[in-house]
Amino acid sequence: LKAGEGTCPLCGTDLGEDRCQNVQAEYERQGKESKKRYRDNEAAMQGLQKDEARVRTALRQSDTRIRTGRQSLQGRKAKLDHDIAQADEADKALPSLHAQRARLSQALEHSDYAPAAQVALKDAKSNLKALGYDRVVHDAARREFERLRPVEEQHRRLDEAQRRLPNLREQRDSLRADITRRNAENAEVRRQSEALAKQVEALPLIAKQLAAATQAHNSVATDVARLRQELGAASRDLERLREQESLRNEKRARLSQTEDEEAAYNELAAAFGRKGIQALIIESAVPEIEDEANRLLGRLTDNRMSVTLETQAALKSRDAMQETLEIKIGDELGTRPYETFSGGEAFRINLALRIALSRLLARRAGAPLPTLFIDEGFGTQDPAGRDKIIDAIQAIQADFERIIVITHIDELKEHFPTRIEVRKTPKGSTFTVV
């Protein structure tokens, strides 16, 4: 974008300098607007979250107080249930106790109880009479004793009550204070409960507002992320375009250099190709090769065969000539391509061409050609052909210091005065000069 060229990352059209600036300005404007909306929504969402936290804290405190009061009431209810259960059990046992009392009363009325004790009582009464016992005085004393017996218990209880009185007064005052405090707390709890109820009624609206704010926040965050991705993609495209521009300039320079080198190499290829120096060398050497080969081939075939080397051939597609090298052989049947010959005839042609080419290279190099190697090929010749090859070798032996013929045909070996015989043994090959 900064370079003022390239393509739009969204629509793919070419961007000029003005359109690049417009796209960049639009990206910046959208980014600022999205950033402002994001901050506003984030602040609103934080305020709603604080309100929700306060409401939830108040609800938890009210729930704790209500749960504590419920537990206290449940304890009192359990105690009352226990007392009611004991009263029910006593009420159920009452008829049985009445019946038992009636039986005991009847037994007392008829003196139908403790026979042994009654006998002892009679004895005791007799003894009392003997002692001068006064029943009236005894009963009066007993009644006085019975009358005074509760006084002792009451005195003990009075002492206990006087001892516990200060503590009980403190407990009474504490209970009154607790009752007052509990009443105030209950009133406060009721007030807070009413306020919380109103807040709870408003929670759906707050939840909707929070959901809307969250959705708007998510939408803005999505837009920001998308714009960041698009900005990153545009930056990467811009960097890639810069790299491609640099690479293009570099390749243009290399292309220019390569074109210059290609032109030079094309000239060298043409010069050293078939149509260049090679064609000139071959064209100048062909007559000499033909003369030497025909001289040798005439010896080998009694002048029945001759060699012609053609360096140009007509094109079939158009009226023009092309550089080539074709070997044509003439005999009593006419002129034919080299490829149509085989066997002994092909061997004699090959031998004549090889010797002619070797002599040409030796003369061009200014060096002698002291040694000639001939490896096999005699098996394709008939006896007359072999004799002619031997005659040809003997005819050219003055041109070489030595001629080495490699063969497995025994009748040919006799034509050479010096031989190197090679034999294969289990321990390896050995040779003998004969």
Domain ranges of the chain: 17-117+193-245, 277-433
CB 378 within 8 A of CB 409: yes
For the residues of 407-428, what is the DSSP string, one character each? ---HHHHTT-SS-EEEEEETTE
| DSSP letter assigned to residue 38 | H
pTM listed for this prediction: 0.36
Cα–Cα distance, 284 to 290 (Å, whole number): 11
Predicted confidence (pLDDT) per residue in 14-40, tens digit = 656 666 677 777 777 877 887 788 788
Task: Using alpha carbons, list the distances in angstroms from residue 311 to 4, 337, 363.
Answer: 62, 14, 22
Cα–Cα distance, 410 to 360 (Å, whole number): 33
pLDDT at 308: 92
- pLDDT above 70 covers a percentage of the chain that reads 75
Predicted confidence (pLDDT) per residue in 416-425, tens digit = 888 888 889 9
Predicted confidence (pLDDT) per residue in 260-319, tens digit = 888 888 878 777 766 667 667 667 788 999 998 998 888 878 888 999 988 776 666 666
Q: Is 312 left (phi over 0), alpha (psi -120 to 50) or beta?
A: beta
| DSSP letter assigned to residue 12 | -
Predicted confidence (pLDDT) per residue in 219-255, tens digit = 878 887 888 888 888 888 888 888 888 888 888 898 9
Task: Give 277-433's CATH code, choosing from 3.40.640.10, 1.10.1240.10, 3.20.20.80, 3.40.50.300.
Answer: 3.40.50.300
Residue, of 263 and 117, whose pLDDT is higher: 263
| Cβ partners under 8 Å of residue 314, min gap 6 | 320, 321, 322
pLDDT at 335: 92
- Classified as helix, coil or strand, 371 is strand
pLDDT at 123: 74
- pLDDT above 90 covers a percentage of the chain that reads 4
pLDDT at 399: 73
Tokens of 177: 């204070």
Predicted confidence (pLDDT) per residue in 125-184, tens digit = 776 666 666 677 667 767 766 776 676 676 677 677 667 777 767 877 777 787 787 778
pLDDT at 72: 78
Cα–Cα distance, 291 to 299 (Å, whole number): 13
| DSSP letter assigned to residue 113 | S
Closest CA to 191 of 73, 62, 64: 62
CB 325 within 8 A of CB 290: no
